[in-house]
Amino acid sequence: MNISMHAASAPRFVAQLKALDAILGKAEAHTTARKIDPSELLTARLYPDMFAFTRQVQIACDFAKGTVARLAGVEVPGYTDTEQSFIELHARIAKTIAFVESIPAASIDGSEGRDITLKAGQRELSFKGLDYLTAYALPNFYFHVTTAYNILRHNGVEIGKRDYLGA
């Protein structure tokens, strides 16, 4: 049995982004119930040299939209990284899900051998589609979603594995 490039990417991004959105809702409720300034969670980090929670969510969204766009051979939509509230992060996730779902499966399937080139900081990276998806995009996407989850959990938000999995 083969798995398609679409099946390995777009539905996985959407499912995990929906779980992240639900976790965001729990974080928001946590700040309200405990009378905590939301910026305490939005700017929280696991370690001083790591990105803050808000940036982790932004990067997860960037990997989801960028991956499906590159695999489909379409322009990657640019988002400004100006979110400073739970409402704005919910909107970014929703916009990302809408974009990912707008790409037809047929545009992604068959992209295993597509040449993918992108900038990562000062470096230019080149991949074939399958390697880009499996060795770069998915690991990075899950890293940032997991780090966002861990920041919230570390700060007392009552979330668990079922929340992360979207169960």
User: Nearest-CA neighbor of 152 among 167, 163, 166?
Assistant: 163
Could you tell me the residue ranges of all domains in the chain?
10-165
User: Nearest CA to 8 among 161, 139, 165?
Assistant: 139
Is residue 29 helix, strand or coil? helix
CATH number of this structure's domain 10-165, picked from the four choices 3.40.50.300, 1.20.120.450, 3.30.465.10, 1.10.230.10? 1.20.120.450
**pLDDT recorded at residue 150:** 98
Q: How confident is the model at residue 15 (pLDDT cuts 50, 70, 90)?
A: very high
pTM: 0.96
Residue 13's H or E segment, with its range, is helix 10-33
pLDDT band at 122; cut points 50, 70, 90 = very high
**In this predicted model, what pLDDT tens digit does every residue of 78-101 receive, in sequence order?**
999 999 999 999 999 999 999 999
CA distances 118 to 70, 85, 141, 142, Å, are 9, 29, 15, 19
pLDDT at 1 (0 to 100): 59
Residue type, 70: R
